[in-house]
Structures are given as structure tokens and as C-alpha cells.
Amino acid sequence: MEAYEELLARLKDIDLISQIGGLISWDQEVLMPPKAAVLRAEQLAWISKTGHEKLTDQRIGVLISQLESENGLDDVEMANVRLARESYDRATKLPTEFVEEMAKHRSRAQISWTEARASDDFSIFRDDLAKAVELARAKADYLGYDALRYDALLDLYETGLTVERVDPLFAGLRENVAPLIRAVMDRGRRPDISWIENNSWPQEAQEKLSHSVAEAIGFDFGAGRRDASTHPFCGGPNPDDVRWTTRYNESDPFGSLYGSMHETGHGTYEQGRRRDLDFQPAGQANGLGVHESQSRLWENQVGRSREFCEWALPLWKECFPENMEGVGVEELWQAVNLVEPSLIRVEADEATYNLHIMIRYEIEKMLIGGDIEVDDLPDAWDEMYEEFLGIRAPNRALGVLQDIHWSMGAFGYFPTYTLGNLYAAQLLEAARDDLPDHDSQIKRGDFQPLLDWMRSKVHNRGSILMPAELIEEATGDSPSPDAFVRYLGSKIERLYGVKA
């Protein structure tokens, strides 16, 4: 099929441009000298403009239409045509100059956000955030929507996602998870974590621990690397070059370890994609909800299990011999599963994590809908934290400035974190059915069977199916919060002896 081969060749060029953009964006976050910020904005704007021009070439539209009318396409070919149509239709709705403007602004805003967070000064970021909101509203208007402007942005990160779908999801979690949190708080049996709080945890040892765990899980450092950044993330152009970051705090070793495990989950997904589908849309990871399922799986459902703690304890003792003296598996397991309302999303426990996402989701709905403006945001943030979690940030760095997403223009992204939690629980429940020795395998550090299961059921399937179809194929059931509620309820009962 000449038309199909021509379409793939054009899509490869577009993907290569995107890969180059990803690399210099990674450099901006990790290595770029401060004085290069203005130049980097120009570079990224050119990459976005050039990629957009190639994607909106009328010839691509002709090829897609021709292929849509042909019979006999296999699953991969149909997926490539479907995904190309989705990208083409979205791109042709966005003027090239608007895409260039968004890229320039994104680069500037990430710099001002970093400075504002470091200085605990919202005013440094205020104008760039206002511009980001303005651009997000305009983007939604260009893309179009049926009910709410915010729906157009949600759909960018998880195809078909709408407020109508998300609202009941969060309502269901509140009904089932909030009572668990209240029960734990009412019980008042906080585990003793003084051995964490009363010690200093050197960064060099944290780096050693994080690297060892990531390698044991299955991340190939011959095809990737680990670095430090203000906000942990995973990037890189293809399975041969996957890059992730974490951050370090010498008063808290859990942040770097579980941040590393989270990004390792993303990284193993990227490294596990089918190589015969390089540069093809069908070979890409399947949406952010599915991507988050892999990171949350390794970070929480494996990493915070008692079996994992039993395997990891000797590593802890090797990296921190003095701090870990007298600490056993039970103490470690209880400490990494402390249920307690906190200010920082990326460091939140499994029980309260989705409340952090709900806050951001509700704020984004109001911002994009015009119900609040940027100047209202810091106080609205603090008030919602008090309402949802009963705590209030003492400063802006621990409050409204903690996440990088809005500086990147990523409005509509946050709900995919909750989808990831739900998908992860559902996938692990299905994997356990196929891996009856799962617990003993984790206890001895044999992570390969679980990774192989994910490779087969998720990573190698790319984007051939829609996200919900992929979850149903892998687990036998359509996406549901039920597995997550079962998982969390069982764990809280074991840890705290309480039920909702």
C-alpha cells in the first residue's frame, strides 16, 4: 500500500521532530545553564511550529481519507490510521502561530515557576500563569467541545474523558475512601516514625538506594539515565533513550525512593514498547491514565507492600547502616504506609492521594470555566486543602506552587493520575490470578514475572486499542474503581485494624 507507506514516512518525520523537542526539554529541566532560557524558548517554539506544519500538511489528510476507505487493514494499520486522524484533526484546528506562541510561553513559564517556587513568591509566576490559563481556554475553544470547555482539555490526555465521566468517579472514591481515612484518623494509632524524623539521610546514599531499586525492578540503565530535577518526570525519545529524574531531601528518604520507583514505572513502560512499531502512533504508550498505572503500580502496590519491604530492608541497612540499626520489616512497612493528610501531592499516601487530585481537578474546572481567576487561585487552593484534608499550607511553595503542570500548560492532566491508580489496582489483581507466586516473588526481589506480565498485557500493546479497551483486554473487565477500593480497604485493615 503506497499510501500507507507514505503516511508512515511522514509520521516518522513528525515523531523525530517530537523526539528532538523532548530531548531539549529534558535538558532544560536538568542541565541547561540559566542564561540559555531565552534561546531555549526560541528553539522549542521552532520545533513546535515545524512539527505542527508537517502534521497539518493537506497531503496527510488526503492519505488518511484514502486509507479510511480501504478494506483489509490489520489491527496495527487501522490503529495508525485512527490515531493519525485524531492527531491531524486536532492539529488542523490549531493555527500554527498559536502553537508557536504556546511553545514559547511554556518555556518561559517553566523558568518563572521554578524561580517562584524556590523563592516562595507567587507574584513571580502570576503573569505567566494567567497567560497559561488564557492559552488553555483558547486551545479548548479551537478544539471544540459539546458541554464544557474543560472537556476539550481532558480529552487531550485520555481520549473520551469528560467532566461527566470524571465527576462520578471522584464521587465514588469519596464515598468509599474518605470513610477509611476518617476511621484511621479516629483510631489515632500513628506508627512510630521517629527513626525517620530524627535522622539525616545523605543524598549520596539515597541515590545509591534509588538506583539499586530501579535496576532491580528492570530499568535498563544502558538505555536510560537518572538525574535530579525540581519536579520528578520521565522523558526521552524512544526505548533506547529513556530519562527520568527524582529529587532529594535529606530529612526524608521516602520522597526520592518512591519518586524514583514512580518514574521507573514510567521508564519500564517506555523501554518495553514494541520496537517494530518505532515512530508509529500505534507503538506509542496508550494515554496518560495507562502510563500512570505503570508508575503507581511500582511505586505503591509493589513498593509499599510488606513483601517489598522485606526484600528492600537489607538495601536500606547497606545504604544507611547507622540510621537503620534496630529497624525491622514491620517498622519499615508501617512507615512507608503512614496514612496522614499532608500538603505535597507527590509525597501523599495512597489513601489521601486522590484527594490531592480532586482539589486540582475542581480548581482547573473553575479556572478554565472562568469561575475564578488567577489572583483568586492561592487562597482558593488553601481553602480547598482545608476543606478536603483539614490542613493549610504555611507558604505558597508548599501550596499552589508545588506542581509544574500549569507552567507547562497541562490543564486536564491531573485526573489521569487517579485513573492510573484505578487501572493499576485492576491490572495487579488480574496479574495475581496469572502469577500465584507473586507475593513470594516480590519478597525475594524477583520482579521479572510481574514486569513480563505488564510487557505482554500493556507495554507491547502500545496504542493499538483505546485505553478502556486495553484495560478490559488485559483484565477481563471494563475500567472500574472496585479493585482499588478492595486493595486499599484490605491494606488499611492490615495496617490499622479498621474498616470503613
How many Å separate Cα 372 from the centre of its chain? 26
Query: In this structure, are residues 162 and 147 in contact, taking their beta carbons and an 8 Å threshold?
Result: yes
How many Å separate Cα 415 from the centre of its chain? 10
SS3 241: strand
CA distance 20 to 36: 17
Candidates 29, 77, 158, 263; catalytic one: 263
How many Å separate Cα 387 from the centre of its chain? 25
Question: With the C-alpha atoms ordered 403, 19, 11, 77, is the resulting torsion angle positive or negative?
Answer: negative
Exposed (0-12), middle (13-18) or buried (19+): which is 250, by Cβ within 10 Å? middle
Greatest Cα pair distance, the chain, in angstroms, is 69
CA distance 333 to 489: 16
How many Å separate Cα 70 from the centre of its chain? 37
97 is catalytic: no
Tell me how many degrees the CA angle 436-442-444 measures, rounded to the nearest 5: 115
By C-alpha distance, which of 297, 203, 298 is closest to 253?
A: 203
For 335-378, the DSSP string reads HHT-----S-GGG--HHHHHHHHHHHHHHHHHHHHTSS-GGGHH
Type and span of the H or E element at 243: strand 241-246
How large is the angle between the packed helices 482-496 and 163-187, nearest 10 degrees? 10
Q: How many residues does the chain have?
A: 500
Query: Strand 241-246 relative to strand 224-228: parallel, antiparallel, unpaired?
Result: parallel
Q: How many CB atoms lie within 10 A of CB 86?
A: 14
Active site residues: 263
